[in-house]
Structure 1
């Protein structure tokens, strides 16, 4: 009888300690209140018990062309002050147009931002020439490179087939777009890109892949794709360690020159 009593006390003590540990593991952060609601000792019975009031998100206003007030404007049609030539860091030499756009000046070099960026939301608008020139990869070919190395392809694919991991909206040679959402040749396309930068440890080893989400004319075509590494025209992607880096717009130098307008970026937390 005494042995049974001692055993019962030990068992009850064990489960009591276990319950204590469990309760201590519950996060006390107010942001975890909703997600951990099933772990609460008492189910909320009033709406206000699951309401969070602080901190309040900052207010962002939309200005001309619906540019958010917390965005960095990279091109608004007035000048090329935010850009340099990627190859030699000289002044940008692309063509400024009266309609507030700029056009690739073939052979003058790829454009690169003067600023470096990490994780971002990027908005840009582009169009191919109305007059159809070239075919395959030589029709209005360009690309937007995030951190100089992760490319979203720009190309006129209307009645113009090419390899699908290099078509419009592809993350070049890595991810085929879910659909082709391009507008007719000569009309303005819109890219909205959400990019989260990869992470590297002290030894230079990649410990977290970067991701890319792309909307083409409001249609989701890349859904949180894990980037394999820097784009490569030949061979496999590479993963050299890096930090913040510029955005680039490619001069493909093929004669069929796309135009760009309304380019802005919002910096995000990684």
Structure 2
């Protein structure tokens, strides 16, 4: 399944050119990751980065690449990063190639919460693709909060199908009714990103 290979006219490009002017570090300082050659690379030790802009409901297209496998690396040390929707809900990035029964901390998982339906991972150094439809939490007429929901497609395979999600460890905040940024996690591995774009689904 390939929802869309190229961004539509109304897409917000997440990184282009030579500058990260639309991204910040968690502390509000300029983002210190590397942007060159058309892709963005995590700078180990530089911390997470997040968009200046906040979002509600959206479609996200993002490609990523885990670094070359380090023989002695195990588990969460293998190409670890993550995509935090609204800065609250992490979709895990990890070198999970070859994992037979993916768990809640493998690539594609809603981190520490819901395992992917299948392991769609490619080997380290191969470019991979996430496509996500995110529906933010909202308050119902009875005053109860309806949780956020997400559908995730990883390398053309549906790994989460409109599931409800709650904030994951490392979230920016718990203010689920507020718009929030897209956040990319720094977890010590030089994971690379390219062709990131987002389309708002709320008028």
Whether 2:125 is the aligned partner of 1:186: answer yes
Q: By percentage of residues, which structure has more helix?
A: 1
Inter-CA distance 162–112: structure 2 relative to 1 (3 Å threshold) = farther
Decide which of 243, 249, 257 is 2:178's aligned counterpart.
Answer: 243
From 74, 83, 90, the counterpart of 1:151? 90
Q: CA deviation at 1:138?
A: 0.9
TM-score, reference length from structure 2: 0.88
Give 1:176's match in structure 2, choosing from 111, 115, 132: 115
- Compared CA separation, residues 112 and 240, structure 1 to 2 (3 A): closer
Alpha-carbon shift at residue 232 of structure 1 (Å): 2.9
Check if 1:95 corresponds to 2:34: yes
Q: Are 2:140 and 1:207 equivalent residues in the alignment?
A: no
Unaligned runs of 5+ in 2: none
Q: Does 1:232 align with 2:165?
A: no
Give the counterpart of 1:79 among 19, 22, 29: 19
Verify the 8 A CA contact 1:206 1:241 in the aligned structure 2: no
- Equivalent pair of 1:117/1:267 in contact (CA under 8 Å): yes
Distance 1:155 1:241, change over 3 A: closer
Residues 196-217 of structure 1: CA deviation (Å, up to 9, x unaligned): 00113699x6421210000001
Q: Tell me the CA shift for residue 96 of structure 1.
A: 2.0
Q: What is the distance in 1 between the residues matched to 2:45 and 2:177?
A: 28
For this pair of structures, how many residues does the alignment match?
197
Question: Residues 84 and 92 of structure 1 are in contact (CA less than 8 Å); yes or no, is this contact kept in structure 2?
Answer: yes
What's the counterpart of residue 265 of structure 1? 198
Q: Which has the higher strand share?
A: 2
Q: Which moved more, 1:211-220 or 1:158-167?
A: 158-167
Whole-Å Cα distance in 1 between the matches of residues 52 and 175 of structure 2?
22
Structure 1 unaligned spans of 5+: 1-61
> Which residue of structure 2 aligns with residue 195 of structure 1?
134
Q: Are the structure 2 counterparts of residues 128 and 79 from structure 1 closer, same or farther at C-alpha, using a change threshold of 3 Å?
A: same
Which structure's CA Rg is the greater one?
Answer: 1
In the alignment, what sits opposite 2:187?
Answer: 252
Q: 1:251 to 1:164 in 2, by over 3 A?
A: same
Aligned with 2:167: secondary structure? Answer: coil
Assess, with a 3 A threshold, how the Cα gap between structure 1 residues 132 and 97 changes in structure 2: closer, same or farther.
farther
After superposition, residues 14-53 of structure 1 pair within 5 angstroms as: none
